[in-house]
Amino acid sequence: MISSDKIPNNVDLHLNKRLQRALEHWQPAYIQWWRDMGPQGFQHYHQVYVRTAISVDAAGWAHFEYVRLPEYRWGIFLADPIINRTIGFGDFYGQPVWQEVPGEFRNQLRRLIVTQGDTEPASVEQQRWLGHRCPSLYDLRNLFQVNVEEGRHLWAMVYLLHSYFGRDGRDEAEDLLARQSGNRDKPRILDAFNEPIDTWLDFFMFTMFTDRDGKSQLLSLTESSLDPLARTTKFMLTEEAHHMFVGDTGVGRIVERTCQLMKEAGFSEDVRQLGGIDLPTIQKHINLWFSLSLDLHGNEISTNAASYFANGLKGRAEEGKWSEHRVVETTYKLETMAEGELSTVEIPMRNAMNEVLRDWYVDDCLSGVTRWNKTIERYGISDRLRLPDRKFNRGIGQFAGSRFDPDGRRLSEEEWTRRRHEWLPTPADKEFLLSIMNASIYEPGKFANYIVPPARGIKGKPIDFEYVRTEL
């Protein structure tokens, strides 16, 4: 029986019998999925010090306690309503927002919600083995915190599917548990969510760059005319901030340790000999996860995006900061490929909405890289990390199928094949990373050699707090 005890919520679940029944039906399948596809080996005996949202107010959304992972209380929360909210962009600008799904936009909305929902369990699946090579209990707990909240984000999308899309919605909710990251027959919808995340460097890059796509997409959905979607995604963003913190500081802590080792080694020695991760390997992982996450913003020229915008389904990030919200006459100058050559075209702004969001995203990523470079500078080292050119290693959009180096210089297929190992992680790089991550560190306060401890612990707890307890 589903109750607000078991599923903390602010949607009056107990008053909506139909929804309650639908969720009751879905919940056992979810728990089974979590056991099969969630963190492997941490389902029975481990108690994790996690944050559970039990309400949306400041005191309630971050309630900390020890829980066994399958007993985490995945809640359903919508941010507080904005009274008399009106549609903020597109053809219906200024009209009241919708509390129900208009029939004519049902398919488009369902597609957006399913695509968003699909990424959440996918990321849990991608990360399910990482616990076995964790750099510390602090990091292990952060991994599980991210995982349970991605699970909650799946619940958030399933709540919308069950509430507003009837039978189709229920079928889609089942399919969200049936597709599997990396599965050849039933893969996850978006490519980055089928990539393996085997090492902690990949995990931190993923939470830095791919979760940040989550931020830009969620920001654009918080503008939606469908008010329950806007309110659901708004609350998800609160949790998303921690995920990016984990990525940003995780890479930062690795970079700092690398700098320490470079100093110890007198700069010239190979950091790898000392068990650290050299800057070129870090750069290759930036190149990989940044380019995969650029792909997640869709094609530069997209009629889907134009239609989402026109219909008020998906806006720009921080729509309120733009001066014009209908966007019927403006254009966007875009670098593109035409007949195999690079060229600049001017297209209607609405068709460039994916690119507009990508602009916002690139800026947001830059701030992280700048922080990492400050650390390197502090150690008196002249190397710098950077974001590759947007055209580099693209699998979706105008540049997919053409080859570019990280400076955006066009390459022949032959040069790309010969040199790609300079820019992207190789099997040997992965082997090396796995070799320094081959053992888990479960002793409170201890950290793997390739990463420095964080500046502070969680929720005022010391760094050597037992963030994950084993009951044996």
What does the longest C-alpha to C-alpha distance in the chain come to? 68
Residue 205 in contact with residue 247, Cβ under 8 Å? yes
172 sits near ligand BYC (criterion: CB under 6 A): no
Cα–Cα distance list, 434 to 11, 134, 262, 439 (Å): 44, 11, 21, 9
3-state secondary structure of 470: strand
From candidates 16, 299, 373, 402, binder to ligand BYC by CB under 6 A: 299
From candidates 7, 48, 130, 190, binder to ligand BYC by CB under 6 A: 190
Residue 208 DSSP label: I
> For the chain, first and last CA: distance in Å?
30
288 sits near ligand BYC (criterion: CB under 6 A): no
From candidates 134, 296, 313, 468, binder to ligand BYC by CB under 6 A: 296
Residue 209 DSSP label: I
- For 467, half-sphere exposure in the C-beta direction (CA atoms, 13 angstrom radius) is 28
User: Which CB sits closer to ligand BYC, 120 or 429?
Assistant: 120
Q: Which of residues 197-216 bind ligand BYC (CB under 6 A)?
A: 210-211, 213-214
Using CB positions, name the residue nearest to ligand BYC: 298
From candidates 281, 354, 393, 398, binder to ligand BYC by CB under 6 A: 354
Estimate to the nearest angstrom the gap between the alpha carbon of 139 and the chain centroid: 17
126 sits near ligand BYC (criterion: CB under 6 A): no
User: Which CB sits closer to ligand BYC, 23 or 317?
Assistant: 317
Q: Which of residues 43-102 bind ligand BYC (CB under 6 A)?
A: none
112 sits near ligand BYC (criterion: CB under 6 A): yes
3-state secondary structure of 181: coil
Smallest gap from residue 93 Cβ to ligand BYC (A): 20
Nearest-angstrom CA–CA distance, 398 and 300: 7
180 sits near ligand BYC (criterion: CB under 6 A): no
Smallest gap from residue 395 Cβ to ligand BYC (A): 7
Stretch of residues binding ligand BYC (CB under 6 A), selected from 23-31, 112-120, 158-166, 421-429 = 112-120
278 sits near ligand BYC (criterion: CB under 6 A): no
From candidates 22, 50, 77, 120, binder to ligand BYC by CB under 6 A: 120
Cα–Cα distance list, 20 to 9, 11, 55, 163, 226 (Å): 12, 11, 19, 10, 22
Estimate to the nearest angstrom the gap between the alpha carbon of 88 and the chain centroid: 25
Smallest gap from residue 420 Cβ to ligand BYC (A): 20
* CA neighbor of 332 nearest in space, from 341, 322, 320, 321: 322
Instruction: Name the CA dihedral angle for 420, 421, 426, 432, rounded to a multiple of 10 degrees.
Output: -160
Buried b (16+ CB within 10 A) or exposed e, 156-166: bbbbbbbbbbe
Site string for ligand BYC, 140-159 (x = CB under 6 A): ----------x---------
Q: Which residues pair with 176 in a beta bridge?
A: none
121 sits near ligand BYC (criterion: CB under 6 A): no
User: Which CB sits closer to ligand BYC, 53 or 296?
Assistant: 296
* CA neighbor of 210 nearest in space, from 294, 305, 139: 294
User: Which CB sits closer to ligand BYC, 136 or 354?
Assistant: 354
Binding-site size for ligand BYC (CB under 6 A) equals 25
Smallest gap from residue 465 Cβ to ligand BYC (A): 26
Residue 203 in contact with residue 134, Cβ under 8 Å? no
Spell out the alpha helix ranges (H) of 340-379. Answer: 353-378
123 sits near ligand BYC (criterion: CB under 6 A): yes
User: Which CB sits closer to ligand BYC, 181 or 283?
Assistant: 181
List contacts with ligand BYC (CB under 6 A). Answer: 112, 115-116, 119-120, 123, 150, 190-191, 210-211, 213-214, 217, 295-299, 302, 304-305, 314, 354, 396
